[in-house]
Amino acid sequence: MSTLSTVPAPAFQEPAPTPVSLLLLGRGADPRSERGVECPGDLPPASDPDLVARAEAAKAELGDRLFVLGHHYQRDEVIRFADVTGDSFKLAQQAAARPEAEFIVFCGVHFMAESADILTSDAQRVILPDLAAGCSMADMATAEQVERCWERLEDLGIAERVVPVSYMNSSADIKAFTGRHGGTICTSSNAKRALEWAFGKGEAVLFLPDQHLGRNTAVRDMGYSLADCVVYNPHRPNGGLTDDELRNAKMILWRGHCSVHGRFTPECVDEVRERIPGVNVLVHPECRHEVVEKADYVGSTERIITLLNEAEPGSAWAIGTELNLVKRLAAEHPDKQIAFLDKSICYCSTMNRIDLPHLVWALEALAEGRVPNVIEVDADTAHYARVALEQMLALP
Ligand code: 13P
Ligand code: SF4
């Protein structure tokens, strides 16, 4: 007789619906997440020929009450309205340095606006023109997962000698976790200084959430070996690591990555070197280690811009970072040959959520006395996240 018939069939469980990652611009809302938001009132159509004039008029009306920050990956149509452009580090510094601005409109992504809210006074309001502008890398580390990882380190008796270092590209919850446990935030322009500081304080680092920035900085810039690094996978039991692997690691890297920079491969580097003899390959440290190893230069968006400004006329460059920035650099440097490292296009879809209609919609609302899309971090989270962010701003 078959034993199968005696085993009760497991109760069928309806699989959880796959969350919709992108909703149409300004249409539809998901109350449980930042993935979508209605824009009350009328979102101007992208084809409206008056959008530029409308943005200019609303900006002029708001005057010094308004401060617009723009990350380098923003579209040209948006970045032209930024009072300051920068990488994540510069934008965090700038947000903290403008106590007189009543409204900070952040043309970037959600984690950047959260950091601006944490670093500004209670009287200031930070506005993200489209709340669906999140970051898939930041979403790869949730507070619950990170707490579970830390408990594992505590159970092993090693948490006391591990210092958390979290990339700016993380939620306020992760930044607060970092502050609570004596760590620091870093960006791609100060990751080495952050790791030096952390290794002066402890014996190992838990690096969240970008494994690539952590590995590239430790191995390429600081002389650690690949064997010093392990990858903690929050989707596997015990992070997919044995007790000894965790005990012996210098760098415990969270298994997160940027889907935009993850597209660049070592083959892209080989191919561009064949196509453009003498080309300088310049990539962002969110790229995979194998890509960074093959590149000539590695740097944050701000560093990429500086290197291009300093480059010899006639020199050739292949750049591995988000396409809005690469296209802008190519337009600004007609005396240099500037190519995109990948053959297929590679925009950051969430950065691109901030478009001119959303910016106009937000600015006009402010000018009319409404404050839309406020990013507000709760007081307890903000307190500990500020501790970690201020530690970053104070790094030697
Ligand atoms: P930086 O501008 O700090 O180099 O960061 C790049 C990035 O991916 C932001 O999302
Ligand atoms: Fe996030 Fe990558 Fe987009 Fe930056 S470029 S916002 S890390 S998905």
Write out pLDDT tens, residues 52-71.
999 999 999 999 999 999 99
What is the per-residue pLDDT for 191?
A: 97
pLDDT of residue 190 exceeding 50, the answer is: yes
Ligand 2 geometric centre to CA of 89 (Å) = 14
Least confident of 20-34, 38-52, 69-83, 91-105: 20-34
| Ligand 1: nearest atom to the Cα of 322 | 8
Q: Is 351 close to ligand 2, i.e. is its CB under 6 Å away?
A: yes
Residue 366 Cα to ligand 1 midpoint, Å, equals 28
- What's the 178 CA to ligand 1 centre distance in angstroms? 19
Contact 183/388 with Cβ under 8 angstroms? yes
Residue 152's pLDDT band, with cuts at 50, 70 and 90, is very high
Which atom of ligand 1 lies at the shortest distance from residue 168's CA?
Answer: 3
Ligand approaching nearest to the C-alpha of 257: 2
pLDDT of residue 195: 98
Q: Which atom of ligand 1 is nearest to the CA of 86?
A: 2
Residue range 239-270, pLDDT digits in tens: 999 999 999 999 999 999 999 999 999 999 99
The CB of 133 under 6 Å from ligand 2? The reply is no
Q: Does residue 74 have its Cβ closer than 6 Å to ligand 1?
A: no
- Return the structure tokens found at 69: 């920050």
Q: What is the CATH number of domain 51-135+351-377?
A: 3.40.50.10800
Ligand 1: centre distance to CA 152 (Å): 30
CATH class for domain 261-340? alpha beta
- Write out the two tokens for 83: 């009072």
Q: Where in the chain is the domain with CATH 3.40.50.10800?
A: 51-135+351-377, 138-258, 261-340
- Please state, rounded to an integer, the average pLDDT across all residues of the chain: 91
For residue 352 and ligand 1, the question of a CB distance below 6 A is answered with: no
Q: In angstroms, what is the span from residue 301 Cα to ligand 2's centroid?
A: 12
How many Cβ atoms sit within 10 Å of the Cβ of residue 192? 17
Mean pLDDT within 321-334 = 96
- Expressed in angstroms and rounded, the spacing between residue 52 Cα and the centre of ligand 1 is 27
- Residue 89's pLDDT is what? 86
Residue 380: pLDDT over 60: yes
Mean pLDDT of 338-366: 93
Span between the terminal Cα atoms of the chain, in Å? 74
Q: Which of 71, 259, 349 to mutate to test the pocket of ligand 2 (most atoms within 8 A of CB)?
A: 259
Mean pLDDT across the stretch 208-224? 98
Q: What is the pLDDT of residue 344?
A: 81
Assigned CATH topology for domain 138-258: Rossmann fold (3.40.50)
Q: Which atom of ligand 2 is nearest to the CA of 348?
A: 3
Express each pLDDT in 265-322 by its tens digit: 999 999 999 999 999 999 999 999 999 999 999 999 999 999 999 999 999 999 999 9
CA–CA separation, 150 and 348 (whole Å) = 31
Distance between CA atoms of residues 239 and 241, nearest Å: 5
Which pLDDT value is given to residue 14? Answer: 47
pLDDT band at 132 (very low <50, low <70, confident <90, very high): confident
In single-letter form, the type of residue at position 45 comes to P
Strand order in the sheet with 316-320: 297-298, 280-283, 316-320, 337-340
Distance 160 CA to ligand 2 centre (A): 31
Q: Check pLDDT > 80 for residue 145.
A: yes
